[in-house]
Amino acid sequence: MQVGRNTRNVVVLMTKLRCASNKSAIAEAAETIKGGGLVAFPTETVYGLGANALCDKAVRKIFEAKGRPADNPLIVHIADVDMLEGVVAEPKLSENAAKLVEKFWPGALTLIFRKASGVPDIVSGGLSTIAVRMPDNQAALELIRAADAPIAAPSANVSGRPSPIRAEHVMSDLGGKIDMVLDGGLAKVGIESTILDLSTQTPTLLRPGAVTLEMLEDVLGTVAVGYDLAIDTAGSPKAPGMKYTHYKPNAKITLVKAKRDARVERFIYNRIAESGEKCAVIAEKAHLDKYGGKFALKSYELCPENLFGVLRQLDDDEITHAFVHAPEETGVGRAIMNRLKKAAGDDIIDLDAVLFVCTGNTCRSPMAEAIWRKYDTGCQSFSRGITAFEGDMLSINSKEALHKMGLELPDFASKRLTKDDIESASIVLCMTRAHVQHAERLYPNSGKIYQLSHYAGENADIIDPFGGTLDEYEVCAKHLDMLIEKIVEDRSKRKI
């Protein structure tokens, strides 16, 4: 290991950068791994930061270099199926595992097995299961063979940063913190592997990737989707890494989606026209020409191979706000959307969503929001209050009334209605005439603000149960449910 001192006289590692196609570089990297060091190496998905998976001390260095929380387990990389012995507890592959290995390894599919006792607990973040994959990259496979050990490797980025698809990305995040980087050029897939849990009764998709849900269903029949609700009943995420914010560039990211592309284009166009920031658009090739012209500073093509490159490029180009024209959520689009949602954090605008409005956003409108969801219309719902106190909780009786209907609104926090909320909704359904008037003052002539009962073909206001008994809340919830059911049944004739 070579060390040096930086300008503040702090000891740093001299990170060597070597070409991955050079045999002596692979041999040197393997020696580094054997000696307990850290080597970043190319895989077909993204670059990994590797250490000997069977050496507790070496694996700890990965967490330190990345600033990774210790409960976020790593993926173990192997070069042939025989290496599973000593890594997984199962003496032989299950029928499902055997089929998947045959079809997708080497490749962008990580499988979760029960962990062998010889693998240090730090690798699996204390879990009794272990994630394993065989990468489809010559240099990676040669390195594992030459190191003669399974290699534990997360993506080679500082925690929270976009995953690296080039050696330069690794150097910029981890240079000075690790021993060596093997440069294998651009990672060809560009998005991290699919993670499938085989330790559960039904195989469960924990992270979407280039091996798509559809491809897995072809082989396995039923596959449960666990990544958007990657929280188990005990409250801990199934793939612990999925709870952390990821892929965050410095630029603010707004993800905009709708069934009709023209709506997305118009919305992004308006937002950028009003914004004083350095704005950019990220869109698939088919839509990119719609964003030409002067209004956006830059536009970037969205595709899996390019996603993380673009997220890093935004910062290099000093963009402060990027709008993403969301791709369709099927096939590899699921993986792209999953990563983009994390990059956007809260800032996801669904232009097909229904907005419910009441006064305080603690009773009627959040109940309507939850009730709407049970009808599974494919349209999201959200709610706001005319005079809401930001961050208020759902009222206890609303929570209870929803609970009796088998519904819940986890993590709900009240928000006050804004013009932007109305602009981003496909339709705004208000509890009373007074709410309609207020919403119309905020956003005149939108043509999409209605009184909920009128829209369902009835007359009465929805009575505010605020401060009332649980019975009164239940009556209100049933009234909302009856109206929403009518609207949903009648949807084909309506705008939603």
Residues that bind ligand TXA (CB under 6 A): 43, 45-46, 48, 72-75, 110, 112, 124, 127, 129-131, 133, 135, 153-155, 192-193, 195, 206, 238-242
Handedness of CA 447, 448, 449, 452 (dihedral sign): positive
* Nearest residue (beta carbon) to ligand TXA: 241
Per CB under 5 A, the segment of 85-93, 154-162, 278-286, 462-470 that binds Mg ion is 154-162
Question: Buried (b) or exposed (e) across 235-255, using 16+ Cβ within 10 A?
Answer: eebbbbbbeeebbbbebbbbb
The rounded distance, in Å, linking the Cα atoms of 81 and 235 is 34
72 or 426: CB nearest ligand TXA: 72
Burial of residue 465 (number of CB atoms within 10 Å: 0-12, 13-18, 19+): buried
Q: Which CB sits closer to ligand TXA, 44 or 369?
A: 44
Q: What's the Rg (C-alpha) of the chain?
A: 26
If one asks whether residue 155 binds Mg ion (CB under 5 A), the answer comes out as yes
Is 188 in a helix, a strand, or coil?
coil
Residue 155 or 424: the one with the smaller Cβ distance to Mg ion is 155
Q: Which residue is nearest to Mg ion (CB)?
A: 155
Nearer to ligand TXA, 170 or 496 (CB): 170
Q: How far is the CB of 148 from Mg ion (least distance, A)?
A: 26
Q: Which does 159 bind (CB under 5 to 8 A by kind): ligand TXA, Mg ion, none?
A: none
430 binds, among ligand TXA, Mg ion, none (CB under 5 to 8 A by kind): none
Span of 7-15, 98-106, 149-157, 399-407 interacting with Mg ion by CB under 5 A: 149-157
Cβ at position 300, least distance to Mg ion in Å: 21
Q: How far is the CB of 194 from ligand TXA (least distance, A)?
A: 8
- Secondary structure of the chain: what % helix, strand, coil (to 5)? 35, 20, 45
Taking each helix axis as running N to C, give the angle between helix 23-34 and helix 138-147, from 0 to 180 degrees, rounded to the nearest 10. Answer: 50
Q: Are 65 and 179 in contact (CB under 8 A)?
A: no
How many residues belong to the site for Mg ion (CB under 5 A)? 1
* Sheet with 109-114: strands ordered across: 16-19, 180-183, 39-41, 48-52, 151-152, 75-77, 129-133, 109-114, 194-197, 204-207, 224-225
Residue carrying the six token digits 């997984």: 88
In the bound complex, what is the minimum distance in angstroms from residue 105's beta carbon to ligand TXA?
Answer: 12
Say which entry of Mg ion, ligand TXA, none residue 153 contacts (CB below 5 to 8 A, set by partner kind).
ligand TXA
Chain residues binding Mg ion by CB under 5 A are: 155
